[in-house]
């Protein structure tokens, strides 16, 4: 069974280093690796009115990535917050929320709990062997 990899290139510029690396990775494909680049250049902006009848680009993105474009963006934002607070330095949660693109600290706390099952404070206090890992008892 082949491993399926979808690479999302954040830059739309044809000569970007990320696009070159993605092409190289996809060039390595063999019978064990099914690699594709996910095009985000023509992805329409989110419009809740279209949720019932999503544009074809949204459907294709969800098929390739396994998440809707909105969920993917929320996860990326959450990952950036986790990276930011995992440094071990003192955490100013209001600053982290604003820097992460959340409208306020309550919004950050809600998203944090949705994705991790922990409050931001529980995550900060947890013994973490790796930034993205918290032992579950």
Q: How far is Cα of residue 91 from the mean position of the Cα atoms in its chain? A: 22
CATH number of the domain at 70-125, out of 3.90.180.10, 1.10.490.10, 3.40.640.10, 1.10.10.60?
Answer: 1.10.10.60
For 46-91, the pLDDT digits (tens) are 888 888 898 898 888 888 888 888 898 899 899 889 888 887 788 8
Residue 114, pLDDT score? 92
CATH number of the domain at 3-66, out of 3.40.50.360, 3.30.565.10, 3.30.470.10, 2.60.320.10?
Answer: 3.40.50.360
Dihedral sign computed on CA atoms, order 54, 100, 130, 127:
negative
Q: Any idea where the domains of the chain sit in the sequence?
A: 3-66, 70-125
For 2-39, the pLDDT digits (tens) are 778 888 887 778 888 888 888 888 888 777 778 888 87
d(CA 110, CA 47): 22
Determine the average pLDDT of the residues in 88-99. 88
Task: Please tell me if the domain spanning 3-66 has the same topology as the one spanning 70-125.
Answer: no
Residue 113, pLDDT score? 92
């Amino acid at each position: 069974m082949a491993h399926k990899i979808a690479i999302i290139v954040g830059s739309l510029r044809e000569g970007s280093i990320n696009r070159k690396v993605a092409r190289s990775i996809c060039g390595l494909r063999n019978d064990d690796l099914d690699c594709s680049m996910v095009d985000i250049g023509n992805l329409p902006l989110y419009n809740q009115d279209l949720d019932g009848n999503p544009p074809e680009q949204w459907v294709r993105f969800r098929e390739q990535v396994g998440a809707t474009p909105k969920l993917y963006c929320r996860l990326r934002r959450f990952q950036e917050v986790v990276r930011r607070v995992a440094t071990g330095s003192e955490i100013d949660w209001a600053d982290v929320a604003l820097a992460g693109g959340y409208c306020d600290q309550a919004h950050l706390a809600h998203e944090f709990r949705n994705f991790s099952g922990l409050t931001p404070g529980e995550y900060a206090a947890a013994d973490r062997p790796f930034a993205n890992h918290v032992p579950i008892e």
